[in-house]
Amino acid sequence: MKQSAAQNAAATSAALRLESALALLAQSGQVLPAGDANNAEWLQALIDGLCALSSRDALTGLANRRHFESVLARELDRVARAGEPALLLMLDIDHFKRVNDSRGHVAGDIVIKAVANALQQSVRPMDTVARVGGEEFAIALPNCPPAFGPMVAERVRARIEGCRIDVGLGEPPIGVTVSIGGAFAPQWVRSSLGLWMERADKQLYRAKTSGRNRAEFEPAAVSQVSAEEKGLLFAAPGTVSQLKQP
Amino acid sequence: MSDAPVTVLTASPRARISAITSGKGGVGKTFVSANLAAALAARGERVLVLDADLGLANLDVVLNLAPKVTLHDVFTGKHTLDEALLEVSAGFTVLLAGSGMVEYSRLTPEVRDKFIETINAVAPRFDRVLLDTGAGISDVVLYTVSLADEVIVVVTPEPTSMTDAYATIKVLASTQKRRAIRIVVNQRVPGTDARSVTAQLQQVIDRYVSPGLESPVTLELIGDVPSDASVRDAVRKRQLLAECFPGSPAAQGVAAVAVKMGHVRS
């Protein structure tokens, strides 16, 4: 069986024109598959390389929009039934056009790369950072309790604000800020990718219109239960009856 | 006056609508809905279970149904309501949401209208409609609960379930002016007590919820369903507990809920 599969692969690869696939991989700096070009393993490595390439953003190496959407879709499925909280942050570099206009597109690209790097470093390894547009980024944070959302967003915001981005050529470093919008996936409810992104986008818009360099979240649900309430909920019955009427 | 009507012994022209909700998912809400429907049907009621857990319901799984026509088809106008009503062997009727209801996970005026339309169409034809709502406290869940005459919160003795049940009751009390909430304690493990679970919830409500309202919120324990291995067996067989293990402690617990619910109508 194995023999014939390899023979098939050899026959197939002989008939395939792989030059452009190999050129793409080489151009992206990926290691070309080693070994005999006429076997299934080699072809598999080539395909794996192409898959990796098609899920990454060329400039920053972050997840691209396509890959990010598949991550979010998986997260929605999990949250819907398991009820674990998951956070989506949408981010946008403030006044990025000014950087491009005054310092040129090369500097603009350097800024995008620096922001991408800083974002990646300010979240957990399990989180997915993506570049979803020109100067737009998004982060999916699985298993992130609602109380931590604003803390995470603030950490990200402060880290970007603190960056001095060296664009070389003896020019002064550039500092940028980001606006952030956050939305939690609705727990226990089947939702859609579009709705979740739209909700986070709405908060990003709020952050932009209320001064930039800030994070906005959907207002906390009325359903939040305070620590005092929880304390009483799990206290022995009757022990607090004298407190009943405040 | 919210008192019972003076006329007695006439069939209700409109079903009593009971919303079954939980706050937390996975506490057996759909199990309670389906088996309660069977128990009510066994007592002679015409019962409809309406799967309001849009797109995420397990009712079809619990009842081993493969519906061809669902609420989604009714909403989109592809089929009539009658085509979507499905009678099950246990003697009650179900209306399944079906997949493809994702678009209804956001409450738009259109979704509201369609819900009202459906409820109004089915209410005169049954004695009881059980709304198996989604978990959580999303606007769709709150809306479907708002259509009900009474609310039944399913809770387990676990801290997470109790916390979410409390949050749900709090929201229903403040946004829907609910003052009487009925409690079914499900999956009660040995060493816990349904009355204590209800008393714990009532204690926090008395302290943190009722003082802000014109009248206090009262919980009424109407069900104590013990944790029971036969529930898992029934689910695995994809049969109703009431049908395959009618004598099991959990089945009897659910049957007792039906008796208590029946009393409210007299």
Subunit contact B105:A186, Cβ cutoff 8 A: yes
Full domain range(s) for residue A23: 2-54
Please indicate, yes or no, if residue A225 is contained in any of the structural domains. Answer: no
Domain shared by A21 and A102, yes or no: no
- What pLDDT, on the 0 to 100 scale, is given for residue A223? 62
Residues A176, A111: contact at Cβ < 8 Å? yes
Residues A209 and A120 both lie in one domain: yes
Q: Is B221 on the interface with A (CB under 8 A)?
A: no
Please check whether residues A111 and A20 belong to one and the same domain: no
Q: Is the pLDDT of residue A246 over 50?
A: no
Considering the domain architecture, whether residues A106 and A177 belong to the same structural domain is answered as yes
Tell me if chain A has a CB within 8 Å of the CB of B77.
no
Q: Which of A17-21, A173-177, B124-128, B198-202 has the lowest mean pLDDT?
A: A17-21
Q: Is residue A121 part of a domain?
A: yes
* Residue-level pLDDT at B92: 95
In a domain, A226, yes or no: no
Least CB–CB distance from A189: residue in B138, B167, B200: B138
Determine the distance in angstroms separating the CA of A69 from the nearest CA of chain B, rounded to an integer. 17
> In this model, does residue B143 exceed pLDDT 90?
no
- Stretch A204-219: mean pLDDT, rounded? 93
H or E element: which one contains B234? helix B229-237
Confidence of residue B67 (pLDDT cuts 50, 70, 90): confident
Please report residues of B whose CB lies closer than 8 A to that of A223: 137, 167-168, 170-171
pLDDT band at A181 (very low <50, low <70, confident <90, very high): very high
Backbone angles phi, psi at A190, to 5 degrees: -75, 125
Same domain, A150 and A114: yes
* pLDDT score for A84: 77
pLDDT given for residue A229 in this prediction: 85
Whether the ipTM is more than 0.95: the answer is no
- Indicate whether A18 and A136 sit together in one domain: no
Give domain limits for chain B.
16-263
Q: Which residue has the higher pLDDT, B146 or A7?
A: B146
Encode pLDDT of A89-121 as tens digits. Answer: 999 999 999 999 999 999 999 999 999 999 999
**pLDDT for A244:** 41
pLDDT at B266: 37
**Residue A70 and residue A25 share a domain:** no
B29 at A interface, C-beta within 8 A:
no
Are residues A26 and A85 located together in one domain of the fold? no
What average pLDDT does range B169-187 have in this prediction? Answer: 92
pLDDT value of position A242: 42
Given this model, what pLDDT does residue A158 score? 96
**Residues near B247 by beta carbon (within 8 Å), at least 6 away in sequence:** none
Give the distance from residue B28's alpha carbon to the nearest chain A alpha carbon, in angstroms: 13
Do A100 and A124 reside in the same domain of the chain?
A: yes
A93 neighbors A178 (Cβ within 8 angstroms): yes
Residue contact B170–A225, C-beta within 8 A? yes
Model pLDDT for residues A215-238, shown as the tens digit of each residue:
999 875 556 677 788 888 888 655
Average pLDDT, integer, range B67-93: 88
In-domain check, residue A42: yes
- Contact residues of A toward B, CB < 8 A: 80-81, 83, 186-192, 195, 221-225, 228-230, 232-235, 237, 240-241, 243-246
What pLDDT shows up at residue B194?
95
Residues 177 through 206 of chain B touching chain A, CB cutoff 8 Å? 196, 199-201, 203-204, 206
Helix (H) or strand (E) holding B180: strand B180-188
Query: Which of A35, A54, A73 corresponds to the end of one domain?
Result: A54
The H or E element that residue B74 is part of is: helix B71-75
A173 shares its domain with A102: yes
pLDDT of residue B249 exceeding 60, the answer is yes
Confidence of residue A195 (pLDDT cuts 50, 70, 90): confident
> What is the domain count for chain A?
2
- The nearest CA of chain A is from the CA of B184 a distance in Å of 17
- Is position A70 within any domain? yes
Q: Which residues of A touch B206 (CB under 8 A)?
A: 244
Interchain CB contact of B54 with A (< 8 Å): yes
Given pLDDT bands bounded at 50, 70 and 90, which one contains residue A23? confident
B74: amino acid identity, one letter: V
Q: Yes or no: is domain B16-263 CATH 3.40.50.920?
A: no
- What DSSP assignment string belongs to chain A? -HHHHHHHHHHHHHHS--HHHHHHHHHTTPPPPPS-TTSHHHHHHHHHHHHHHHTB-TTT-SB-HHHHHHHHHHHHHHHHHH----EEEEEEETTHHHHHHHH-HHHHHHHHHHHHHHHHHTS-TTSEEEE-SSSEEEEEETT--GGGHHHHHHHHHHHHHT--B--STTPPPB---EEEEEEEPPTTS---HHHHHHHHHHHHHHHHHTTSSSEEEPPPPTT---HHHHHHHTSPTTTTGGGS--
| CA-to-CA separations, B5 to A142, B9, B74, B129, B227, in angstroms, rounded | 52, 11, 34, 20, 38
Whether residue A131 is found in the same domain as residue A177 = yes
The residue-averaged pLDDT of B5-24 equals 71
Query: What residues pair up with B57 in beta bridges, in sequence order?
Result: none
Model pTM score: 0.64
- What is chain B's mean pLDDT, rounded? 86
Q: Are A49 and A106 members of one domain?
A: no
In a domain, A213, yes or no: yes
Give the mean pLDDT of chain A.
84
Kindly determine whether residue B103 and residue A246, on different chains, have CB atoms separated by under 8 Å: no
Mean pLDDT score, B151-165: 93
The two three-digit tokens of residue B80, written as one number: 């009539």
Look at residue A1 in the predicted model and tell me its pLDDT: 46
| DSSP-derived 3-state class of residue B47 | strand
Q: What is the mean pLDDT of residues B217-235?
A: 94
Kindly report the CATH number assigned to the domain that includes residue A203.
Answer: 3.30.70.270
